[in-house]
Chain A
C-alpha cells in the first residue's frame, strides 16, 4: 500500500506552461493517470491526450479528478489552490515557488474549512513509486517498496531516495512538504499516515533549521510511532540570522538550530544520520 496517491488517483494538472507540460509528461511516464488539465483560455483543447478546461469546475464535472498538480506561477498560485479547494479535490500538490506568505495564510484559512489536503507549496510533490507520480521528482531513481520518506527539502528527498534505491530498499510513498513558512501538510500529518499504513515499515524524515516543526514532530513520534525512523536536519553549520534559501530556514533569536532539533529527535527514539550521505545506510541498519 501507499499513502495519498496510488494507481486509482485521477489527476488534474493546473497550469500547462512549459514546466507544467514537461512534468505532466514525466508523470504519465511514471504512472500518473492524468484525466484533465486546467488552463484559463485554453479550454476545449487537448494536451498530451487529456482534455483541457478553462475552469476547475468544468474539469471536475467532465473528468472527475480527485488530485491536482499545480504549476501556476506565484502571483496566481494561491488562487489556483483556492479553486481546487472549492471544487473539493481530495489532494492538491502545489509545486510553485515564491508564493507570498499572505496569500498562503488565506489558503490555510480555506483549508481549515475543507476536506482538501494541500502538499506544499514550494515542494517536489508526492510519489508512490510504481503507482502514481504527482510531482517533479526524477521518477527513475525510485523503487516500489516499504519505506516512507518525508522532507522539507526537494533535492534532499531525492538524495534519500537515491541512497535507498541503490541499497535495494524501495519506497512506499515519498513526500516533499515544502520549505515555506506556511504549508498545507506538515511532518506530523505525514508521520501519522505512515504510521497507519500497514505496508510502510520504516520512515526517513528530513528537516532543516528554522521553526519548530521538527521538534513538534519528534514529540508526536514519542511513544506513538513504533516503526523505525531515521532523521536528519540540514543546516547544522548555517550561521544564525541568515535565511538559507527557503523562506522558513532561518535561525532567529537562538531558536530553530539543528542541535535543538537533533536532540528532540534523539529523545524521541529517532536515529539521527550523522551526515546526509548516511540516510540510507542508517535506515538499512535499523530494518
Chain B
C-alpha cells in the first residue's frame, strides 16, 4: 500500500482525523453546554459532587471553571487536529512539500507547547485553589511532550527545505 497520494495510508489517516475533529468539536460543545448548565441549573453542582463522591465541597462556579479549562484544552487539541488534517490533505493529494505545510507544522508545534504550558498552569491552579491532587509526572514522561514539540519544529524546517527545493526544481528550465 502506498503512503502518499489518493487511496493511500495518508488519505486513510486524513479520514480518521476528520472523524476525530468532528468528535472533538461535539465534545467541546458538550463541555461548554455542561458548564452553562452547572451555572444555571440549581442543585446540579451538589448532585455532581454527590455522584462523583468528591471529598471537598466544590461549588457550581468552581465546577464550571474546571469544565471551561477542560474545554479550552480540548479547543487546543481541536486546533492541532485542524492543522494536522490540512497537512494530511496535502499528503493525500500527493503534494508532500506544499509551501503552507511549514506554517501548519509550526502552528502544531506552538499548539502542543501551549497545551503543555496550559496543563502545568491548570494543575498549579487546581492544586493551589481547589486542593485537588494529581499524579506527579516524573522522568521520561515529563520531557516526552517537549521532545515531541521539538520534533514537530524540526519537521517544519524539513518541510520548509523540501518546499524550497521543489520551487527550485519547478523554476529550473
Do A and B pair up? The answer is no
List residues of chain B with CB under 8 Å of any chain A CB.
none
